[in-house]
Structure 1
Amino acid sequence: MKTHRVNELIELIHPEWKKHSELNLVEFLLKLAEEAKFEGKLEDLSDDVLIYHLKMRNSDQKEIIPGLAKDCENDFKTAILRARGIIK
């Protein structure tokens, strides 16, 4: 894992973990994995799952995931024209 990803994960996890200070780190990670509907082993939980879940944890259910919002088009016709390279 790159240093900037470690820093980002620590920055995101710290305020959320403080809300659940009765849990140790592993318990809190298990809670996050369960919330994210991750069904694998804890050692297979990727930093991407944790980062995106922590970013979206307190947001509205209908809010678009950061990183996908830039590619969304409200108008189907515009989306098709952009996909075909007719408009930029």
Structure 2
Amino acid sequence: MSCHRINELIELLTPEWQKQGHLNLVQIIETLAVEAGHKAPLNEVTDDLLIYHLKMKNEAPDAMIPGIAKDVEVDFKEALLKARGFK
């Protein structure tokens, strides 16, 4: 895992840990994994699962995943011109 992903995970975990200060880090990760629907053993929880779950935790159920939203073109004409190299 690269440093920027570690920093991102720590940044996202910090508010959760502050809300539940009585829990240790492993308990918090376990809670987040269960919330995200992870059913495998705890040692199989990935950083991606934690990062995306923490990013999407307070979003609307139909909200688009970060990273995908930036690639979505709303205007078909703009998307077509961009694909053909005119924009």
**Is the structural similarity TM-score above 0.5?**
yes
Counting only pairs closer than 5 Å after superposition, residues 48-63 of structure 1 correspond to structure 2 as: 48-63=48-63
Q: Determine the structure 1 residue equivalent to 2:26.
A: 26
Q: TM-score, normalised by structure 2?
A: 0.81
Partners of 2:44 and 2:61 in 1: how far apart?
A: 25
Partners of 2:70 and 2:2 in 1: how far apart?
A: 24
Question: What residue ranges of structure 1 are gaps of 5+ in the alignment?
Answer: none
Residue identity in the other structure for 1:3: C
CA RMSD of aligned residues (A): 2.0
Q: Determine the structure 1 residue equivalent to 2:11.
A: 11
Shift of 1:60: 1.4
Runs of 4+ in 1 over 4 A off after TM superposition: 85-88
How many equivalent residue pairs? Answer: 83
Identity %: 49
Q: TM-score, normalised by structure 1?
A: 0.80
